[in-house]
Structure 1
Amino acid sequence: MAHLDYFIIEPVGGHGGMNYYNTGLGQGLVLNNACVHLYTCPESQEQSSNNFTINKFFKGVYGKSNKIVRLARFVMALTRSIIDIKKKGGKICHLHFFQYSLLELITCNLLKFSGIKIVATVHDVESFSGNSLTGTHTSILRAPEEFIVHNEFSRQELRSVISAQGIDKKIAIIPHGNYLPFVKRRETVLSRQHLSLPVDKKLILFFGQIKKVKGLDVLLSAMEIVSKREPDAVLLIAGKVWKDSFQHYEEIIKSKNISNVVIPHIRYINDEDVDFYYSSADIVVLPYKKIYQSGVLLMAMSYGCITVSSRLPAMVEVVDDSRNGFLFETDNPQDLARQILVALGSSAAEDISKNARAEMIEKHDWKRVARQHIKVFETYE
């Protein structure tokens, strides 16, 4: 069977945690007899391997340096990527949409101008929602031949958005792959010692970017209740703030008088420390107010962690309450506190952990996920 050349332009890479996704999908594609060509940034530590070429062209396009300089670097890297795709005979390219800015518009326009078709995975429909759609948004929406989303909720939301713009395109549902190839469960006590965490406490982990939609305020309100019922419980907050202020949460912590049970690690968590954070946790809480897909949930379940998640459509598609995790009523601190206490005291913790990993193996295997991507890709070859 002839190899399929599969081209992916995904500049974020290791700068924003997409290196796991890129590597998982790339390896899955290779297992399906594809030759993968990924165009990303140098922050991705992964190296090229057999039939999987990683081109780290997007150097210096993120950060705090001059915006004009970064834009010029982006356009140069994009041009270089497109030239390479054309040189290799590529006719279609896979993009990932997280936001819908000038960079996405330039990418779509240059690819279309070069005669290269686009298939795009939409990770965040939110930026397309509401009454604030601009010409940029609409142009980006019109560019792909087909969209990919990770669940039915996202498909419904995206369908509503594009229909309102008079756009009719296919939207394929392909699950987000698991993190099993990248995680290493470590011994709990040693992990806590590595991070200078208390070894004799019941540790509740909030992991990932801190922004308003993530519902950290709900979790802090719940911790006021939890700490009274379970004095050994502590909350570890690990992640950097994004378009938010941690001062707001500090004020909640102070007003709830829970400073003694909250451990803030408010910073970017390096890849080499991620294993230690998840391995330290008794449970992982995802108190989100709205989400289209949660990489944190899939990562936690890949570690076999006990999760407590908001009862949101995207979560319900993955979590079977009390079987492979726990769900609580969204934006309800009282119900969250109740479920945290249930999870911390569950006699079925071992079975729930096994079921969580089994869910990742059975429904989020990268080879299976990649096969579905190839089916979409080949439609436009």
Structure 2
Amino acid sequence: MNIAFIDLANDGHHWFYNYNIMSSMVDGGENKIYYFSSDFSKEQIVDLVKSNIRYITNKKFPKNNRLLIYFYEIYITFKFLVFCIMNSVKRVYFIHGDRYLFALKLLCGIFKIFKIEVIITLHWFPGKKVKIKWLNSILKVCDVLITHTDDVKNRILINNDNKYSCKMKVIRYPIMNNEPLDKSVAIKHFQFLKYNKEAPTILYFGATRYDKGLDILLKASKNLKNIYNIIIAGKAEYFDEEYILQNERLCKNVTFINKLEFIDENDIKYYFSCADIIVLPYRKIFNGESGILTESISFGKISVVPNIIHFPKIIQKYKNGIVYKCEDYLDLAKKLDLCYENINYYRKNANEAMEEYRKIHSLEKFKKRYLEILK
């Protein structure tokens, strides 16, 4: 069977996620796999060729101009449709369907006219009413809609009066198969110029997007009673370096270590192994799965999370961290200090949670589940 995958974001966790699904679908050459994406690195091309996956290069989505983004979304989806028709593709897979809701509302029916099966993974529940309407229209036509959490699945079904439950599937987000390292080894790897060996380390990991709430963590940091190292590792986006440095100067009890750039996949295990506490200072608008929380638990780290979506249920189950009131920086500061004061208790629970969680979210189980659905 000819199968085509599309995702123009081709770096970081996107590549890890996409490549593992596609390579598992090759099936000894019985399936011809196409990958519609952008900005392929030399290493990625080697991996794709080795796995017999044909890649098609496109330009990335434009930035900052919403009208231009919607136009390009329609253009690239239509281009993908034509490619699939010309190459007798029988199944298409929108790996990060969140980015293509407008185009899919317009074009999903045309894929079906040409008897092309449409499978979509939705990583987030749409934050706007108009996007929920688009999704409802798409659900009527598409063959399968995959989410990573029961929370997102149930919210979609509620908005459709449970009409399309047979199309809905849940696949747990995978861990990246990184084995935890000894903290001293991880710290030595980075050779930090400034680092307080006597203080616990808090990690904020990922791009500084607005919904990820780095500003909330920075405000909380000004109110911490105990002494900490805080590592901020990820590409500076909404909150830029100047803003971050200005706020860091106002924090008395914190040694900040900034790595404000894209983090190479090979370094992820070092950052998580350095940390004692992983913090998610997310805003209420965040409504999907968190790869950061998945990695935090898989590394046996204490997790501090907001009281939104499914996060409190995870902490309640494993007792591996603390829940704070979302967007309340004073409560976040209070809960971080509470972690510090009870660090051995939470560390013990986090270590116990790690083994079970790694089995549930293993890469092998993730690929097997996709194969069950896609075959």
Distance 1:43 1:242 in 2: 22
- 1:368 and 1:32 map into 2 onto residues whose CA distance is 20
Corresponding position of 2:114: 114
Query: Cα offset for 1:238?
Result: 1.8
Deviations 1:153-212 (A, max 9, x none): 111222244459x977632222112222x566362222331x645262432111112222
Q: Which residue of 2 aligns with 1:269?
A: 263
Partner of 2:362: 365
Which amino acid is 1:111 matched to?
F
Question: Which ranges in structure 2 are unaligned for 5 or more consecutive residues?
Answer: none
TM-score normalized by structure 1?
0.76
Change over 3 Å in CA distance of 1:16–1:275 after alignment to 2: closer
Contact 2:125 2:287 (C-alpha < 8 Å) held by counterparts: no
From 235, 241, 262, the equivalent of 1:240 is 235
The answer to which of 90-99 and 71-80 deviates more is: 71-80
The one of 188, 193, 210 equivalent to 1:212 is: 210
Secondary structure of 1:58's aligned partner = strand
Alignment of 1:1-12 (within 5 A): 7=3, 9-12=5-8
For residues 172 and 24 of structure 1, what CA distance do their matches in structure 2 show? 18
For 2:200 and 2:233, the matched residues in 1 are separated by: 16
2:195 counterpart of 1:198 = yes
Paired residue for 1:172?
A: 169
Gap change, CA 1:134 and 1:335, over 3 Å in 2: closer
What is the aligned partner in structure 1 of residue 328 from structure 2?
332
Cα drift, residue 97 of structure 1: 1.4
One of 293, 296, 318 as aligned partner of 2:292: 296
1:1-381 matched pairs, under 5 angstroms: 7=3, 9-15=5-11, 17-26=13-22, 37=33, 39=35, 40-43=37-40, 45-46=43-44, 47-48=47-48, 52-62=51-61, 76=79, 79-80=82-83, 83-84=86-87, 86=89, 90-91=90-91, 93=93, 95-100=95-100, 104=104, 108=108, 111-127=111-127, 129-130=128-129, 132-133=130-131, 139-163=137-161, 170-180=167-177, 182=178, 185=181, 187-193=185-191, 196=193, 198=195, 200=197, 201-226=199-224, 229-231=225-227, 233-243=228-238, 252-253=247-248, 256-258=250-252, 261-289=255-283, 290-320=286-316, 323-345=319-341, 346-348=343-345, 351-378=348-375
CA shift, 1:264, in A, is 3.4
Alignment check: 8 A CA contact 1:189 1:199 kept: no
Q: Distance in 1 between matches of 2:269 and 2:305?
A: 20
Superposition deviation, residue 237 in structure 1: 1.6
Paired amino acid for 2:351? K
Determine which structure has greater relative contact order: mean sequence separation of CA pairs < 8 Å that are 6+ residues apart, divided by chain length: 1
CA shift digits 1:298-326 (9 cap, x unpaired): 12223333322223232234334663343
The letter of the residue matching 2:147 is V
| Contact kept in structure 2, 1:41 and 1:56, CA below 8 Å | no
Deviations along 1:259-308, one digit per CA (max 9) or x if unpaired, are 96333333222333333322322221112123320011112223333322
- Contact between 2:40 and 2:57, CA under 8 Å: does it hold in 1? no
The answer as to whether partners of 1:188 and 1:280 remain within 8 angstroms in 2 is: yes
The answer to whether the 8 Å contact 1:178/1:364 transfers is yes
Q: Is the deviation greater in 90-99 or in 32-41?
A: 32-41
Distance 2:87 2:181 in 1: 39
Supply the AA of the counterpart residue of 1:144. C
For residues 120-167 of structure 1, the C-alpha deviation after alignment (integer angstroms, 9 at most, x for no partner) is 11112124x33x349865654444223111122111222244459x97
**Compared CA separation, residues 361 and 53, structure 1 to 2 (3 A):** farther
Task: State the one-letter code of the partner of 2:220.
Answer: A
Q: Identify if the C-alpha distance between structure 1 residues 43 and 277 changes in structure 2 by more than 3 Å, giving closer, same or farther.
A: farther
For residues 259 and 199 of structure 1, what CA distance do their matches in structure 2 show? 11
Separation (CA, whole Å) in 2 of partners of 1:34 and 1:293: 33
SS in 2 for 1:318: helix
Q: CA deviation at 1:104?
A: 4.8
CA displacement 1:37-68 (0-9 Å, x = unmatched): 35144536441488x5433313433467x979
Percent identity at matched positions? 19
Unaligned runs of at least 5 residues, structure 1: none
Using the alignment, how far apart are the partners of 2:25 and 2:358 within structure 1? 17
Matched-pair contact (CA < 8 Å) for 1:60–1:70? no
Q: How many residues align?
A: 361
**Could you tell which deviates more after superposition, 67-76 or 304-313?**
67-76
Instruction: Indicate the RMSD between aligned Cα atoms, in angstroms.
Output: 4.0
Residues 202-240 of structure 1: CA distance to partner in whole angstroms, max 9, x if unpaired?
Answer: 3211111222222223222221222xx222x02222222
1:147 to 1:362, Cα distance in 2 relative to 1, 3 A: same
Q: Is the 8 A contact 2:201 2:274 kept in 1?
A: yes
| CA shift in 2, pair 1:138/1:158, >3 Å | closer
* Corresponding residue SS for 1:56: strand
Q: SS state of the match for residue 313, structure 1?
A: coil
